[in-house]
Amino acid sequence: MAVIKCPNCGAETEPTSAGILSVCPQCQHDLRDEAEKQMREARKERAKTIARDDSVTTHEYIVRTKGLKKEYRMGEEIVHALRGVDLDVRRGEYLSIMGPSGSGKSTLFNMVGGLDKPSSGTCFIEEVDMAQLDAFELAWLRCRKLGYIFQTFNLIPVMTALENVTLPMIFAGMSTDEMMDRGRELLDLVGLGERLHHKPYELSGGQQQRVAVARSLANAPAIILADEPTGNLDLQTGREIIDLLKELNMESGVTIISATHDLKMIDVSDRVVHIRDGQVERVEKRADLKLEIGTMGEH
């Protein structure tokens, strides 16, 4: 991390190796806000660069798949859900996976999310081969590095909104006080501060999905995986969720991978991967898409 300039006395200080610097050694001014601001700026800048620039170095790929294949046995028949998918996802990217139902996009989503094992091929998350992980490491990865959002919200029905959001924090070993504070704050920020103790069935679809978004952020993941997040929502609410995800992506630089066939998603995606018959049909960049949408509008 870069040096932090004290807004009070102007002294520039190098943060400690852990990246923590709370007070200015010169004038004892509280530097936490300043440090956070700088960190955010840096991340935002990086996200913008990634969105613009194609020439990012290879280690900036957060997810890579190589020759991913998945076969299911359905009675006598063998169904090829994926027939060798090579996909690289950049850090901080907003990627949409599109395709008709049965195209294998949910299967791909499951592989990337570590929910299912491929028949052959490899999937790397942050240079770690998922196939090499044991159950404990996989759980750790899901808990700390990945956040999931589902079409059917998948909140735990017997738990309140707050308990749903704090559940991943329990798994992560957070202390109760810290957990409650963070949970409250997250829910407050998605606009559900008044409904902390409501059960999922007492919330509307949009509200449930917002609880799910808050839950996916519980342990500050590097990647948010969203499987048809707008599939069960009306247009307006779907739009809100998409905007929320996009802004999160822009502000915090979290990578978002979303399986969808919602066309509204195209607007906000950096890249769109089209899947057909278990293969990548084509990859579109946002710039090209904008052009397409523009020409369509002129008819």
Q: Which residues bind other proteins (CB under 8 A)?
A: 1, 17-19, 36, 39-40, 43, 110, 113-117, 135-136, 139-140, 142-144, 146, 148, 150, 152, 154-159, 167-168, 170-173, 182, 185-186, 189-191, 215, 217-222, 244, 247-248, 250-254
- Coil, helix or strand at residue 211: helix
Q: What is the DSSP letter of 257?
A: E
CB of 299 to other proteins, least distance (A): 35
Q: For the chain, where are the E strands, in sequence order?
A: 4-5, 12-13, 61-74, 77-90, 94-98, 120-125, 128-129, 146-149, 223-227, 255-260, 271-276, 279-285
| Distance in Å, CB of 114 to other proteins, minimum | 8
Cα gap 192→212, rounded to integer Å: 11
> Could you tell me the two tokens for 247?
């802004």
Minimum distance between the CB of residue 180 and other proteins, rounded to whole angstroms? 13
Comparison of 142 and 271: residue with beta carbon closer to other proteins: 142
When the beta carbons of 95 and 256 are compared against other proteins, the nearer one is 256
Smallest distance from other proteins to CB 228, Å: 12
Q: Mapping DSSP to helix (H, G, I), strand (E, B) and coil, where does residue 23 land?
A: strand
Cβ-based nearer residue to other proteins, 119 or 289: 119
String of DSSP letters for 181-209: HHHHHHHHHTT-TT-TT--GGGS-HHHHH
Beta pairing partners, 47: none
Could you give the maximum distance between any two Cα atoms of the chain, in Å?
A: 75
What would the two tokens of residue 255 be? 């990578």
- CB nearer to other proteins: pick between 79 and 289: 79
CB of 148 to other proteins, least distance (A): 5
CB of 29 to other proteins, least distance (A): 20
Please state whether beta strands 146-149 and 223-227 pair in parallel, antiparallel, or not at all (unpaired): parallel
Residue 80 or 140 with smaller CB distance to other proteins? 140
Choice between 52 and 117, CB closer to other proteins:
117
